[in-house]
Each structure stands twice: as structure tokens, then as C-alpha cells.
Amino acid sequence: MMAPYSQSELPAKQGLLQRMWKYPALEHYVRLIILVSAINLGWLIYGITSGQWFAPNHIDLTSLSNMVISNFFVAILVRQQYVINLLFWLATRAPVTWPLSVRWHLGKIYHHGGLHSGCAVNGTLWFALFTGALIYQHNQNPASVSATSLFTTWGIIGLLVVMIAMAMPNIRKKFHNAFERTHRFAGWSVLILFWVQAFAIATDSQPDQTTWERMLNTPSMWLLLIMSFSILLPWLRLRRVPVSITTPSRHVALLKFNYGVTPFAGSSMAISRSPLSEWHHFANVPSPTEPGYRLTVSRAGDWTGKLIDDKPSHVWVKGVPTAGVANIEVLFKRVVYIATGSGIGPCLPHLLAQKLPMQLVWSTRDPRKTYGDELVDEILAAQPDALIWDTDKEGKPDMVKLAYAAYKAFDAEAVICISNQKLTRQVVYGLESRGIPAYGAIWDS
């Protein structure tokens, strides 16, 4: 099996105009950011012209505030676990009889994070504009803007700038723990300040109304209420659960859970040893015949290294099982799974579920020594024709060529790659630039 897969040559890439949309710089995630920005720009033009939000003697602070809250409302809701599951469910309703070009784009549903980033950035820009307008209004009529409104506004914009700076890809990658803590604690602080600010501004503009009347008459407060519940909901499901950990090698830990939850294939859960510190997401591996689920964790940093070396008896979990990229498999008649190393973990539940014909290509070092006979035998039982490439014996393969050869030999409609960021991008772009639907995680959170 290895020879024809490894020797297959790649076809030529598509023409420049066809493949330019496949560049990572123009992926669906980025397109969503551009779309959100264009919509916000349209609203700004409307506000300047027909809306008359910026009259010489009065600035419409309420409309500006609504734009701020609307953007942050979408940014938060699109990260909500139930909303993510709903988006995946809607996208995968399309039957395989639909044109491949349509299903190809529906499969990019996991780029929904572009809505989060686009709305968060535009919400911050609107808030900067709102801050300037508030200061101008205060200078024109000091009695119309309270000190509470001013101080909360300055606090919010300072925290938003810090959050966006920490979310820049290079900073987030280099200081991921700091990014996660900043987003969590600064985000909670911003939400509290938004509530204080909303009531303060409502009091400034509607001093004769009661608190209840102000809330009923202020749409942004209702959005804040939904946003607050959305953020709180996963924490309401926080629990400390027992875990059984085995380590077939110093490179891998296999975690087994059975606390009354059996997640669906293709979902992930977040686990932590310190719930206010850091969380790590791993793909769930449910068994078709047993309750509970498993996780495959490879040594990839301090946290995973400590988990392997110092096995805890309990960990924290929160929220609900959340759909991941490979759930889009059902949009296609036949798929090829490309996995490297512990990327086999997210693939395994799909191999076991067998919802459609699939072919596995797994490149890893000494699979039986690294992951144990039990796991390898389970994979081969589900995928007797799997190509398992032992990099200790064969060296590292050209994964783009290997993926294309498997795609062609299996007569697949799409390729799903579960690997590290660099290799995933190489495989996805290497195939899509040749007109082949390809999918892989985008590391946007």
C-alpha cells in the first residue's frame, strides 16, 4: 500500500485567479472579518449621512452605544458552545447530492471565529468613537454626562485595547497562558463595566425614569443580559471529575472519563487542573459500546508534560461537548483523514462511528511503542486498510503528496487533516490550490 501512495506526483496548481482565494490570507475566517467590517462601515456612513448621529449641537450616543453592544453581542454569542453546535448542525444538513462546490463552502463552517474577531475589533473601534463622542458631549454640556459614565468608559477602552493586543496571532501563540487569562479576567471586567456604564448613561439621558423603566427602554441592556447568561452558562456546568490516566510512553497520556457524559463523535471538551488559570481543549473519543469517553494527550508543552509525568486523579471540566472541524465529514460521500502523531485522537471517534466510507493515513513515530498495542489494534480493527507511516523507519513523508495519493486512490471528495498548525496549513493549501476540498483546524482560539 505504501508504494503507490508515496510515489504519486502532484498535479499542477490552478491558475492564479482560481487559487488566490485559497491563500491562508484570504481564507473564510478572514473573509468573515472583511464582511463584518464592510457592514459596520455601511452603518457608519448611514450614521454620518441619513442617520444624523453627529449633529453639531448633539451626538446620538444611544445609536453609537447600540453599535458597540451589537458587535460584542455577536462576538460573544458566536463563541457560545450551544451556538457553535447549532451552526455545525445547520451547515451539515445539506445532502451529499448537492453540488460539491456548495458543500465545499459549507464545510468551512468552523471558520465562524471570523465573526468573533471581526465583531470584537469593530466593536472596539465603535467604542473608541463612542468615547470620543462622550468626551465631546461632556465638554459641550458637562451636566449631560456623569463622572461614572466617563470613568467606566475609560476603563472599558483600556481593557479592550489590552485584550486585542494579547489576541494578536504572534503574541497569542508566544504567550498563550497570558492571553487566556487576559481574555477571561479582562473580559469579565469589561462586562461588569458595561453594565455600570449602561445604567449610568441611561440615567444621564433619562433622569426622570425608574431603573426598571430605563432597562425596559434600553435595548442594549437586554443584549447585555443575554451576553451575561451566555458567558455564565458553561461555568454553571463546572465540575471536578475522576479520570483514569495511562501512559504507553513518555510522549502520550490516554485519559478515560466516566462521569455520566457520553459525548458525540467529533466533539471536544475543555479540561483543567486549575479552572481559573488555564483550560485545554481535546477531542473526545467515545466508544460505540461503552459509556464515557477518552482523550489522547501528547507532550506539547509544560501543562501536557506535567499531566503525563504527574497523573492527577481528578480534573475539572466545564460546558458541553462542542462540535469540531471533522464534523463536516457528513457533507461528503467519501473522505480521507490525514493525521500526524496524536492527531489520531480527533480522528478515532470518526473511524469508530463509520458514518461514511473513509480512508486513514497516519504518520507517526513507532506507533505501537508510542501509543500502545491496544490503541493501534483498535484503529486497525476500524480501518484495516489504514496506511500507518512509521517515521522512525521510513522518515518523514511529503504529507501533501501522501494526502493527494490517498485522495486519488480512494476516489474521495474531501480531505480532513488533523496535525500541527504548520503542516495542516501546508496540506490544506497544497490540496485546495489544486482544486481539492481540504479542511483542518485554524487555531483561532
The secondary structure element, H or E, covering residue 318 is strand 314-323
d(CA 435, CA 338): 17
Selection from 374, 380, 333, 332 nearest residue 360 by Cα: 380
d(CA 408, CA 385): 15
In this structure, are 243 and 215 located in the same domain? no
Indicate which CATH number applies to the domain containing 309.
2.40.30.10
Look at residue 7 and tell me if it is in a domain: no
Q: C-alpha grid cell for residue 232? A: 455564565
In this structure, are 31 and 122 located in the same domain? yes
Question: DSSP character for 144?
Answer: G
pTM attached to this predicted model: 0.89
Look at residue 313 and tell me if it is in a domain: yes
Cα angle, residue 252 at apex, residues 249 and 255 outer, rounded to 5°: 115
Indicate which CATH number applies to the domain containing 399.
3.40.50.80
Helix (H, G, I), strand (E, B) or coil at 444: coil
In this structure, are 283 and 217 located in the same domain? no
Indicate the residue among 323, 357, 379 that finishes a domain. 323
Indicate the residue among 262, 296, 323 that finishes a domain. 323
Look at residue 295 and tell me if it is in a domain: yes
Question: Which residues face 438 on adjacent strands?
Answer: 415
In this structure, are 213 and 357 located in the same domain? no
pLDDT tens track of the chain, all 445 residues? 344 455 568 888 888 888 888 888 889 999 999 999 999 999 999 999 988 898 877 788 888 988 999 999 999 999 999 999 999 999 999 999 999 999 999 999 999 999 999 999 999 999 999 999 988 888 888 887 888 989 999 999 899 889 888 888 788 777 777 888 888 899 999 999 999 988 888 887 777 777 677 777 777 888 999 999 999 999 999 999 999 999 988 888 889 999 988 898 889 998 999 998 888 888 898 877 788 999 988 887 788 888 999 899 999 999 999 998 999 999 999 999 999 988 998 899 999 988 999 999 999 999 999 888 988 999 999 999 999 999 999 888 999 999 999 999 999 999 999 999 899 999 999 999 999 999 998 877 5
Counted residue by residue, the chain has a size of 445
d(CA 29, CA 146): 40
Q: C-alpha grid cell for residue 144? A: 449631560
